[in-house]
Amino acid sequence: MLRDTLKTLLSAWGPSGSEHNVQVTIKEMLHGHVDNMRTDVLGNLIVEKFGVDDNAKRIMISAHMDHIGLIVTAIEKEGFLRVSNVGGIGMKQSEFRHVVFENGVEGVLCSQPLEGDGKAVIKDLFIDIGAADADEARGMVQVGDMAVYSPDIFTLGKHRIAAPAMDNRCACALLVELLMYAEDQKNTIIGVFSTQEEVGLRGASVAAYAVNPDIGLGLDVTAWGDTPGTKIPDIKLGAGPAVKIKDNSMIATPLVRDALFEAALEADVAVQREVLPFGGTDGAAIQHTRGGIPAGTLSIPCRYVHSACEMIDMRDMDGALKVLLHFVNIVE
């Protein structure tokens, strides 16, 4: 079940560069469902499920495993941890947040403006782990350790789920289920569960070069335009997955973009057209490797991206899975 797969993946601790818990969980889920699995130097998990067609194309589908976090830069004499952001952490989303380190140490992320007009910026953030002084703190965490928003996963109404790691575990869940349920599909699926997307598409960049696919697809969340005062992007939760036309990192290759629209039509799934005036995905890393690879991105609408309450609608997830099952058969 997509919902169960998602919840399991949301619970795994894994900021950029420390995705191993997510990787192990996915490996266990896919055991017996794919033809081969390997990992590379950057920690990408690369799995293949062969297509049956004699002229099967090799389609790389990438979903990043990492999510945003904080990294300890220094420990102060009072026992507070100075931190820096790993990926796109916003100040507004970071005040008085429950955070957790890999070893289970918990803390409150706070800020106190150090200078200027009293407006806090990222360098003013610190984590209070309840230590009385630096010595006690050093016994709990070290400089270089990372923390993430505590994995509070909750359901809203019938269809919606919120959690801190929704970007991008929802796409990991989709890719896992695609690899489980695709059967005798025409093309070969090369599923890449990538690392370090949030710090610059790093995992997908090396994976795309190594895999050298015929066609590429990124799976990721996109932003929302359906809460008070927001209109752009023109994306609503529950109105279907979104086919990316453009964001800051890529203009989708027409061949791939149109195959997604065709797959949606075949699958009888409503899709939205996505023009995002910011952001980027693994789709761009694939498109821009070597001499250029035709690539696009299928997006899951997500409210409050990069907060501790990233929210999606499971109807968009179900629709996306159907679109993907058709896509791997029709794209060429």
Catalytic annotation present for 197: yes
Nearer to Co ion, 61 or 81 (CB): 61
Q: Are 112 and 123 in contact (CB under 8 A)?
A: no
Q: Counting contacts by CB under 5 A, is residue 249 touching Zn ion?
A: no
Q: In what order do the strands lie in the sheet with 242-246?
A: 36-39, 45-49, 188-194, 58-64, 215-222, 295-301, 242-246, 272-275
Q: Counting contacts by CB under 5 A, is residue 247 touching Zn ion?
A: no
| Segment contacting Co ion by CB under 5 A, of 77-85, 130-138, 165-173, 282-290 | 165-173
Q: Counting contacts by CB under 5 A, is residue 220 touching Zn ion?
A: yes
> Cis ω on the peptide bond leading into residue 213 (within 30° of 0)?
no
| Segment contacting Zn ion by CB under 5 A, of 101-109, 123-131, 167-175, 208-216 | 167-175
For 295, the token pair is: 């690539």
Nearer to Zn ion, 167 or 316 (CB): 167
Among 19, 66, 145, 167, binds Co ion (CB under 5 A): 167
**DSSP codes, 142-153:** -TT-EEEE----
Question: In the stretch 121-160, what mask flags binding to Zn ion with x, by CB under 5 A?
Answer: ----------------------------------------
Q: Which of 177, 197, 198, 310 is catalytic?
A: 197
Question: In the stretch 45-64, what mask flags binding to Zn ion with x, by CB under 5 A?
Answer: --------------------
Q: Which amino acid is at 261?
A: F
E strands in the chain: 36-39, 45-49, 58-64, 69-75, 81-86, 97-101, 106-111, 125-128, 146-149, 154-156, 160-163, 188-194, 215-222, 242-246, 272-275, 295-301, 310-313
Q: Counting contacts by CB under 5 A, is residue 168 touching Zn ion?
A: yes
Binding site for Zn ion (CB under 5 A): 167-168, 220
Binding site for Co ion (CB under 5 A): 167
Q: Indicate which residues carry an active-site annotation.
A: 197
